[in-house]
Amino acid sequence: MTRIVTQIRQRWPKVRILVRGDSGFCREDLMVWCEQNRVDYLFGLAKNSRLCEALKLERALAKLIHDLKDLPARAFRDFRYQTRQTWSRERRVVGKAESLDQGDNPRFVVTSLTRRQYRAQYLYEQRYCARGEMENRIKEQQRDLFADRTSTHHLYANQLRLYFASFAYVLLQALRRLALRGTEMAHAQAGTIRQRLLKLGARITLSVRRIRVALSDSYPWQALFQQVLLRLQALPLRE
d(CA 57, CA 223): 57
3-state helix, strand, coil split of the chain in percent (to 5) is: 45, 20, 35
d(CA 224, CA 200): 13
Work out the angle between the directed axes of helices 155-178 and 222-233 (0-180°, nearest 10): 100
Q: What integer pLDDT is reported at residue 217 of this predicted model?
A: 87
Q: Name the helix (H) or strand (E) containing 167.
A: helix 155-178
Burial of 10: CB neighbours in 10 Å, binned 0-12, 13-18, 19+: exposed
Q: What integer pLDDT is reported at residue 116 of this predicted model?
A: 92
Buried b / exposed e over 69-84, threshold 16 CB at 10 Å, is eeeebbbbbeeebebe
Whether pTM exceeds 0.85: no
Q: What is the mean pLDDT of each run of 10 residues along the chain (239 residues)?
A: 95 95 95 97 96 96 95 96 95 97 95 95 94 84 90 94 94 94 92 92 92 90 93 84
Residues 6+ apart with CB under 8 A from 60: none
Q: What integer pLDDT is reported at residue 239 of this predicted model?
A: 55
Q: What integer pLDDT is reported at residue 216 of this predicted model?
A: 87
Q: Is 75 helix (H, G, I), strand (E, B) or coil?
A: strand
Residues 6+ apart with CB under 8 A from 222: 215
Q: Give the pairing type, strands 40-44 and 18-21.
A: parallel
Q: Are 147 and 165 in contact (CB under 8 A)?
A: yes
